[in-house]
Structure 1
Amino acid sequence: MSASSLRVEPGFAFPAEWIALDAAEQRRLHGHCGIPPARYGEYCDAGLLARRTITLNTAAIQASRPGLAPVHVVHRLRQHAPAPLGEKLRLDGRYVEIADARRGQIARSRWEYRQDDGTLLLTVEPDVMMVDPEGKGDAGGKRSTAAPREEDTREEDTGGWAVLTRKQCTPETTCGYCLNTTNLIHTDPATALRYGFRAPIIAGNQTVNFVLEALSLDARPQSFDIEIRFRKPVFWDDAVAIEGRRGAAGTLTGIRAVNGEGATVADATVNAVAYGV
């Protein structure tokens, strides 16, 4: 199926793909995130596997909704078991809902990564906002009767946060991570300005990598269920602190990214995590 055949509509199924993430590509991308190669060992960073879902969302939006800018706003990942580096996985995805939002629409999709024998390793559910530069919604979408999901599930700030890692974004790391992207909002200052940003913004998935790394600082997780919400843009020159909060068992229950001005740019709820790899 060509890119021109992709459609952003509920029920549309993307053609199945076989994908693999090798050690060299993981090392390259992690280099732009300040993540050491030993962090994940011989296993894939689920956040890097999940990049393909955003690439395909972007292609579909650019093909069927030209003029709208795709912006990643929510990402839910459920790792059922870690994927070995280099192993081919079957990727299946479809749109489950198109909902109206203040500046356009939100495309919600569900993706599954399976081994050759059908074993499910990873489920990814991203929300991608299709931003209208004129600030007008699209009447073709479904208006949700509930409050927007990204506002419903905000991680309540009751204190107890501690800095886990610090990241410094630069134009070089942003462009390196977004190598060959067709979404110029990440790499071109003029495009970013057109959509209301003072400078290019890093890919939402790069923030996903920052957040997921926090789960692997103490040990490598066997499985996890996490929902990450992007609150504010992270610009390509921002400094970001990754903070965590632990529950009674000592495991992380919340993670957030805070910029140099003290604003939370992303937060995450860790619904479950199990260690053992």
Structure 2
Amino acid sequence: MSPVEPKPRVGLLLPPLPTLLGAQRQRRYHRAAEVGEGCFDDEVDPALFANDCILARKPLKRPEVAGLHVSQRIEQFEPVTLGEALTAQARVVEVTARRNGTLVRARVAFARADGSVPVVGEIGSLETDAAAMRAKPRSGRPAEADALSDFVELSRKHPTEARVKDYSFEFPDYLVHFDPQVSDRLGLRSPVAQGLMSFSYMAEVMARGGPPRRFALWAEFRHPVFWDDRVRLLGRGREYLVLNEAGVICSTGGCSDLAG
């Protein structure tokens, strides 16, 4: 990272980031997210590119600003083999003032050495401050029955303290996932799981019956998942919901095929 963090602006191109998802790295993420072994055979779990999206946009992170990961999208045009070297590069595509902060959206291209791009990610973050986070209610309301109509349970997960910490092993300075004192200052009752843990839950069920080839997978992270929560993943066709034990919708998402 440069000594002075760049200010987000539309069109800003961030430095390229060499990256590689090998079997060991993928296995560690899967263990933390309780994803079954062998779901993706010798291919990269596309949901894990989302962690590289965070790393690729990290030059935008400012210590005085809390960045809330609010949305994620991955488009895969070709499968990527485990251990295949890629270069990730983020470009800011949206900077929008919101009542409670600034929404910054970046698209991240994952390129091979020959210039082809098998995967593109899009990451949305709300840049806010600790006071705004403390002011936001965190209890949430249980989903109305109509909102859950025709959804069926696909999996159950338990993001324990150890799993939350292990899933965030590449982000040790994101203390909201590790340090109860930091989460308390932000008005949170405990450290929280990365929203991408829910994204991994969705990718796992998407891959049942064999990983897809060309697709888009997306999610919005609406409510924190704390490190003592138990959650359920519900599905209706290719729509997904992640609910906590109180019935609050924590994440929404879905997947679709890409033409071509």
TM-score of the aligned structures, taking structure 1 as reference length? 0.83
Quote how far apart the aligned CAs of 1:123 are.
1.0
Query: Is 1:255 paired with 2:246?
Result: no
1:176 is aligned, of 161, 166, 174, to 166
Quote how far apart the aligned CAs of 1:194 are.
1.4
Query: Is 1:163 paired with 2:153?
Result: yes
CA deviations on 1:2-46 (whole Å, 9 max, x unpaired) are: 253443222211111221111011111111011122111101111
- In 2, the alpha carbon distance for the partners of 1:130 and 1:224 equals 29
> In the alignment, which residue of structure 2 is the partner of 1:104?
101
Q: Quick check: 1:58–1:70 contact (8 Å CA) kept in 2?
A: no
Residues 24 and 126 from structure 1, CA distance in 2 versus in 1: closer, same or farther, beyond 3 angstroms? same
> In the alignment, which residue of structure 2 is the partner of 1:118?
115
Residues 203 and 51 from structure 1, CA distance in 2 versus in 1: closer, same or farther, beyond 3 angstroms? same
- In 2, the alpha carbon distance for the partners of 1:3 and 1:94 equals 19
Matches within 5 A, 1:211-226: 211-226=202-217
Quote how far apart the aligned CAs of 1:51 are.
0.4
> In the alignment, which residue of structure 1 is the partner of 2:80?
83
> In the alignment, which residue of structure 2 is the partner of 1:195?
186
Aligned residue type for 2:164: T
Partner SS state of residue 33, structure 2:
coil
Partner SS state of residue 57, structure 2:
helix
Query: Is 1:47 paired with 2:47?
Result: yes
Gaps of 5+ in 2: 134-145
Aligned residue type for 1:254: E
Quote how far apart the aligned CAs of 1:59 are.
4.3
Q: Quick check: 2:50–2:72 contact (8 Å CA) kept in 1?
A: no
Gaps of 5+ in 1: 137-155, 247-252
- In 1, the alpha carbon distance for the partners of 2:49 and 2:41 equals 15
Quote how far apart the aligned CAs of 1:113 are.
0.8
Q: Quick check: 2:16–2:56 contact (8 Å CA) kept in 1?
A: no
Quote how far apart the aligned CAs of 1:117 are.
1.7
Q: Structure 1 vs Structure 2: percent identity of aligned residues?
A: 27
CA deviations on 1:56-95 (whole Å, 9 max, x unpaired) are: 4344222xxx321111101111111111000001212111
> In the alignment, which residue of structure 1 is the partner of 2:125?
128
Partner SS state of residue 125, structure 2:
strand
Quote how far apart the aligned CAs of 1:229 are.
0.7
CA deviations on 1:108-152 (whole Å, 9 max, x unpaired) are: 10011122222221111110111222229xxxxxxxxxxxxxxxx
Quote how far apart the aligned CAs of 1:102 are.
2.8
- In 1, the alpha carbon distance for the partners of 2:213 and 2:148 equals 28
> In the alignment, which residue of structure 2 is the partner of 1:236?
227
Q: Quick check: 1:185–1:200 contact (8 Å CA) kept in 2?
A: yes
Q: Quick check: 2:56–2:90 contact (8 Å CA) kept in 1?
A: no
Q: Quick check: 2:89–2:109 contact (8 Å CA) kept in 1?
A: yes
Aligned residue type for 1:233: P
Quote how far apart the aligned CAs of 1:101 are.
2.1
Quote how far apart the aligned CAs of 1:165 are.
1.1
Partner SS state of residue 211, structure 1:
helix
Partner SS state of residue 83, structure 2:
coil
> In the alignment, which residue of structure 2 is the partner of 1:16?
16
**Structure 1 stretch displaced more, 49-58 or 10-19:** 49-58
- In 2, the alpha carbon distance for the partners of 1:25 and 1:47 equals 13
Partner SS state of residue 206, structure 1:
helix
- In 1, the alpha carbon distance for the partners of 2:125 and 2:113 equals 29
Aligned residue type for 1:232: H
CA deviations on 1:149-171 (whole Å, 9 max, x unpaired) are: xxxxxxx9362111111110111
